[in-house]
Structure 1
Amino acid sequence: MSEKNKNVPQDYASINKLKYSNVYRKVVIPPFVGQMPITELSVANRCLCSYTVGLQNAVSLRLKDLTIQNFVVARPQLIASFSQLSSLTLVGARITNFDFIQHLTLKELKIQLASFSFEEKRIIAAQTGLQKLALNKCNFREVHLLQNIQLRELQLRENKLKNSDFVDCRFKHLQSLDVSFNLLRSLDHLVDLSPQLVAIHASTNKIGKLFYNKEQAESGIEELDISYNKLFEAYLRPLNIIKTGIA
């Protein structure tokens, strides 16, 4: 065993993925973990709890993927120490300051059950290299801020979004959009959101009618989920739909 890893239990020396699941107590990453070749770390519970997770002993890790779910992050600014991080998931982490995100270069970001200041929303929008972004249950309605991000997948579930929040918004590379559980009354401004868009998930909204102009009918949408809406009139034949969900 190398000098660097001499304090790491021999059975753990080659582990590169570490996962704490359903640990209903305070979690402190052991000191020796910081010497392991771990690139993926997950600390997750099934439901919200008031227990904290301490990352101070993990800051030397070369993490590429970090997930914290339903734990309170004791010192969220430590997340900025993971300079090689490309994927970050924070669900129910009760973080009150997201400034650390500006020090990261992410490709995937998922945040759920959070509240942002306008400046923090701008910090997220400055992550122009993001390919996948999920901001669920975050009361996030400033869709226009995200237009300069090279997104391929965008998820904005349960944000009280209305059609007006998408007016004049355009994404160059967006392929999949999930706006389920919002307040949308139609697919206006969604179908033509991006020339690359092939999938729209808009279940559980207030959509009542589906009518399209010629330009929308010739769009490249292949998958459309409009289940659990208030549809009483729909015209879908012109669309090149491969998969659809209507309830």
Structure 2
Amino acid sequence: MTQPTATAIIADDEEPMRDMLRKRLQEAWPELDIVAEAANGIEAIALAGQHQPDIVFLDIRMPGLTGIEAARMLFNRCHIVFITAYDQYAIEAFEQGALDYLLKPVNLERLKTACGRLQSRLGKAPSNIERQLTQLLQQTGRSPAGAAPQAEYLHWIQAQVGNSLRMISTKEVLFFRADEKYTRVQTAQGEFLIRKTLKELEDELDPNEFWRIHRSTLVRVDAISEVTRDLRGRQMVRVRNSPEELEVSRGNTHLFQQM
């Protein structure tokens, strides 16, 4: 019986590792079409938007945007397989979350087993692994001594712009504004719409960097230029590179107690 055809992207910051995995995949799954290779998570996101692969192989530790962070943006569009050097906490998290992973150097027999599982899933919607990915971020943030995991916050936001994807660093954001089930992202370059509620974003952002000043507004603290009062006594926030004034609700005026 002919195996289902499939496409894949390999993402690893080490070129020799990409070469090795590509060659092993040719042995384990000759019909698999490797359509692109990425050296970091940002490239992986962009290439996934361009090629729409069935599978993405992601190294968990890459510069700029890690494999785990990239997976949080890709998991509902393709099947994810993580690649990792030996890491006790990562492996525990992979096993607990039933996530697919491969250890470096990639073993051919293990790879064949993983490919068999992937072939059985082709044509099916990728599993919702958002909860497992959040746990994985927490697990891999542990110190070797077993200290409590450090929180891992969102650093990049993915916005659809026409037929392409725009990667927005949270450092570029001036403020977020709720728009029903969507959120508007305001930057100095313009406004973007993302398919995530403001509450979901708030849970993923560093509370020291983003403050909820109104039920419909999150503002980046570093972007605030001044806080004033209007004729009605309301606190109003002004941010750099934007003409808008953002109202501070009464329940959040404590954020600016000096006013």
Q: TM (normalized to structure 2)?
A: 0.31
| Structure with more helix by fraction | 2
Q: TM (normalized to structure 1)?
A: 0.32
| Structure with more strand by fraction | 2
Higher relative contact order (CA 8 A, sep 6+): 2
